[in-house]
Amino acid sequence: MGRKFKFFKEAVKNYKTSGTVVPSSKYLANRMTTTINFEKADVIVELGSGNGAITKNILQKIQPHTTLICFEINDAFYNELKKINHPQLIVLKESAEKIDELLKKLGFNDASYIISSLPLTIIPKKISNTILQKSYTALNKNGLFIQYQYSLSYYKKLKDVFGKNITLSFETLNFPPAFVYKCAKK
């Protein structure tokens, strides 16, 4: 069974946690990582890593001093991520709600970047609010939270957390096309 079909099958079965039925395109993965300064990134966190489309993009660019920590709650996607053999990759089968405490438990004070593929619009409001607040807290000063969504409906919520420090772009070469929010902690 092909990778895309396996992803589709798992995503349909667990749509409420995956939020999509197709993996991110290489174009979306590139757009999500284009503003990362890999030379200065000590810790990069990926929330909702899925089958690893963006994870693999990050690992191609990661520097020897950087750690990538992936959060994935779906069993099948978690198992797929665990197959990626890379010494700088830590894969956690944990909710993004625990980002702050798990960073500390792993010995890190904060993250330089947080890349999120979480379907915030379909996650219960209380949980998505907690994830955003804890992500903000987990970022270092001038850290960047990068989130994609398929609509603009979450712009106000991100603005409530990050203020005016948000830039927006649009990736047409993804199915469906996606908005990419880049939110700076100032």
CA pair distance 183, 20, nearest whole angstrom: 22
Could you tell me the domains of the chain? 3-184 (3.40.50.150)
Pairing of strands 166-171, 178-184: antiparallel
Strand order in the sheet with 139-149: 89-92, 67-71, 43-47, 111-116, 139-149, 178-184, 166-171
pLDDT digits (tens, 9 = 90+) for 42-53: 999 999 999 899
CA pair distance 92, 82, nearest whole angstrom: 9
pLDDT digits (tens, 9 = 90+) for 72-110: 999 999 999 999 999 999 999 999 999 999 999 999 999
71 residue type, one letter: F
- Say how many residues make up the chain: 186
DSSP class of residue 44?
E
**Residue/partner pairs of 160-165 with CB below 8 Å, 24 or more apart:** 161/132, 161/133, 161/136, 162/136
pLDDT digits (tens, 9 = 90+) for 129-159: 999 999 999 999 999 999 999 999 989 999 9
pLDDT of residue 173: 97
pTM as predicted: 0.89
